[in-house]
Amino acid sequence: MARSVVGPEIEKLIQLLARLPGLGPRSARRAALVLLKKKEALMEPLAKAVAEAAAAVSVCPVCGNVDTQSPCTICRDAGRDRSVLVVVEDVGDLWALERATATRGRYHVLGGVLSPLDGIGPDDLNIASLNGRVREGGISEVVLAMNATVEGQTTAHYITDQLAGSGARITRLAHGVPVGGELDYLDDGTLAAAMKSRTPF
Ligand SMILES: [Zn+2]
């Protein structure tokens, strides 16, 4: 262990920064140094923003999204298509779909995927609340926007079974050729999935 060259406050700051995704110990030290050098322009506003967000953040009781208002900004948005419900694994997936302006529907955040090996069953996810929302009526389509992983697809199948008889049409995201993708560079599974889910031209 290297001799500490900074006080405990800075050491703690570096350790916490290092826990952020994309920041290892080295990047965390660099980030901490930038903060220290830009105390008024960056460090103090950041500390204030973090404190304010921490005080206000909560999980939306309707959809499971994380936001600083409850119900969340999306659930409050009167301009949303209330007949379409997009089911995602995590808040990050919701943000990604919003960045892409992929839908005007509302969301339901599961909070993970079924994973027997990790001991994650249906009761650990927001599946019962999804079922309740869909069976309340008014939803004509449920889009299962799960990751194209084994766990994601297993979860999608489970939800499809749960929603049987609800009257809502269950759809899922297409699997296939990415925008700008060249066939020669695709893996076999993606290419086979693209062929299987081909659409009329
Ligand atoms: Zn919400």
Can you give the pLDDT of all 201 residues of the chain as single tens digits?
A: 567 788 999 999 999 999 999 998 999 999 999 999 999 999 999 999 999 999 999 999 999 999 999 999 999 999 999 999 999 999 999 999 999 998 999 999 999 999 989 999 999 999 999 999 999 989 999 999 999 999 999 999 999 999 999 999 999 999 889 888 899 999 998 999 999 888 888
Task: State the distance from the centre of ligand 1 to the C-alpha of 59, rounded, in angstroms.
Answer: 8
Task: State the distance from the centre of ligand 1 to the C-alpha of 111, rounded, in angstroms.
Answer: 13
Task: State the distance from the centre of ligand 1 to the C-alpha of 67, rounded, in angstroms.
Answer: 8
Task: State the distance from the centre of ligand 1 to the C-alpha of 75, rounded, in angstroms.
Answer: 4
Task: State the distance from the centre of ligand 1 to the C-alpha of 90, rounded, in angstroms.
Answer: 13
Task: State the distance from the centre of ligand 1 to the C-alpha of 80, rounded, in angstroms.
Answer: 12
Residues near ion ligand 1 (CB < 5 Å) are 60, 62-63, 65, 71-72, 75
**CA distance linking residue 46 with residue 22, whole number of Å:** 18
Task: State the distance from the centre of ligand 1 to the C-alpha of 79, rounded, in angstroms.
Answer: 14
DSSP string, 19-76: TSTT--HHHHHHHHHHHHHTIIIIIHHHHHHHHHHHHH-EE-TTT--EESSSS-HHHH
Task: State the distance from the centre of ligand 1 to the C-alpha of 62, rounded, in angstroms.
Answer: 5
Phi-psi region of 183 (alpha: psi -120 to 50; beta: other; left: phi over 0): alpha
Residue 156 has a pLDDT of: 96
Please choose, from the candidates 132, 130, 106, 126, the residue with its C-alpha nearest in 3D space to the C-alpha of residue 114: 126
Task: State the distance from the centre of ligand 1 to the C-alpha of 95, rounded, in angstroms.
Answer: 13
Task: State the distance from the centre of ligand 1 to the C-alpha of 98, rounded, in angstroms.
Answer: 13
